[in-house]
Amino acid sequence: MSGIIASRRGVAGFGIFSLAMVALCIGLGVWQLQRRAEKHALIAALTERLAAAPGALPQASQWSALTPGRDEFRRVRFVATWQPRPDAMVYSAGSAVRDDVTGPGTWAFMPAMLPSGEIVVINAGFVQNTMQDRAQQDRAVTRLVTGEPMTLTGYLRFPESAGTLTPPENMAKRLWFSRDHLAMARTLGWGEGGKPVAPFYIDLEAPVPASGIPKPGPLTVRLKDNHMQYVITWFGLAGAVAIAFAVWWRAQRRASPS
Q: Domain locations in the chain?
A: 2-46+224-255, 74-206
Q: How far is 33 from 203, CA to CA, in rounded Å? A: 32
Report pLDDT digits (tens) over 196-232. 999 999 999 999 988 888 999 998 876 666 767 888 8
| pLDDT band at 66; cut points 50, 70, 90 | very high
Whole-angstrom CA distances from 111 to 2, 96, 234, 251 are 81, 24, 48, 73
Res. 258: pLDDT tops 60: no
What's phi and psi for 88, nearest 5 deg? -130, 145
Provide the 10 A C-beta neighbour count for residue 82. 21
Q: What is the mean pLDDT of residues 118-135?
A: 88
| pLDDT band at 149; cut points 50, 70, 90 | very high
Res. 137: pLDDT tops 90: no
Report pLDDT digits (tens) over 97-107. 888 888 889 99
Task: Look up residue 113 and give its amino acid.
Answer: M
Q: What is the mean pLDDT of residues 97-121?
A: 92
Per-residue pLDDT at 5: 55
Q: How far is 239 from 83, CA to CA, in rounded Å? A: 62
Dihedral angle of Cα 28, 32, 34, 39, to the nearest 10 degrees: 160
